[in-house]
Structure 1
Amino acid sequence: MSDNKKEISITVELDDNNVPEKIDWNATDKEGEGIANCKAMFLSMWDPKKQDTLRLDLWTKEMTKDEMKIFFHQTLVTMADTLENATEEEGMAEDMRDFTAYFADKMEILDS
């Protein structure tokens, strides 16, 4: 087994109602120095024993609806790329990309 390890840390500051106010993260191989801030995150982890996905979806009070729409769109695009890279399911990945174009149109966001 390899001794090569990477570490990712996430710190979430909550208000009195447990609503995220600040999300900071760092990683051992992140570009740039120090802790980075973000307004939203989706974290999905596969549990092989339960054959189920564990999810953690967080966003801060400052995350606007327009930013969330763009965040969703970009996440869906990267999910299509990951599906294709992990499974070689080119057709389904392309179908997902078609949906992301539809999503961007319906949400009235620009594909950047």
Structure 2
Amino acid sequence: MAKTNLKSEINFLVELDENRVPEKLWWTARDGGVVNQETKAVMLSVWDSKPQESMRIDLWTKDMPVDEMKTFFHQTLVSMSDTYERATGDKKMADTMKDFCDYFAEKLELKQK
């Protein structure tokens, strides 16, 4: 039986102004049912194992409200804590990271959902 190599694509489209500042962002992940969905911010990290470092792309539109950016950061930190625990099995450190997330939200006076 032949092995099938499945592939999936995630695409980002960035509309820039004359100074190359993002004005609009869209993303598509057809396997997830997302097609040209507009967004205001993207944070993407990839691991380059050769130099043992992460590479990042952080984009946000110039009309991204600051209060939404604060909430976006908080939710990203919380999800990173969950991902860290799933990836490493280190519940103790994940809980420590979540404690920081609670502190972060408290200091920014974010409404918890």
> TM-score by structure 2 length?
0.94
Find the aligned partners of 1:68 and 1:17 in 2 and give their Cα distance.
22
Percent of residue pairs identical: 51
1:82 maps to which residue? 83
Q: CA deviation at 1:28?
A: 2.5
1:45 maps to which residue? 46
Structure 1 unmatched ranges of 5 or more? none
SS state at 1:3 partner: coil
1:54 maps to which residue? 55
RMSD: 1.1
Structure 2 unmatched ranges of 5 or more? none
1:3 maps to which residue? 5
2:18 maps to which residue? 16
Q: CA deviation at 1:3?
A: 1.4
Q: Supply the AA of the counterpart residue of 2:22.
A: P
SS state at 1:10 partner: strand
> TM-score by structure 1 length?
0.95
Q: CA deviation at 1:56?
A: 0.3
1:35 maps to which residue? 36
Find the aligned partners of 1:83 and 1:20 in 2 and give their Cα distance.
30
Q: Supply the AA of the counterpart residue of 2:21.
A: V
2:97 maps to which residue? 96
Q: CA deviation at 1:62?
A: 1.2
Find the aligned partners of 2:4 and 2:79 in 1 and give their Cα distance.
28
Find the aligned partners of 2:5 and 2:94 in 1 and give their Cα distance.
34
Q: CA deviation at 1:27?
A: 1.1
SS state at 1:29 partner: helix
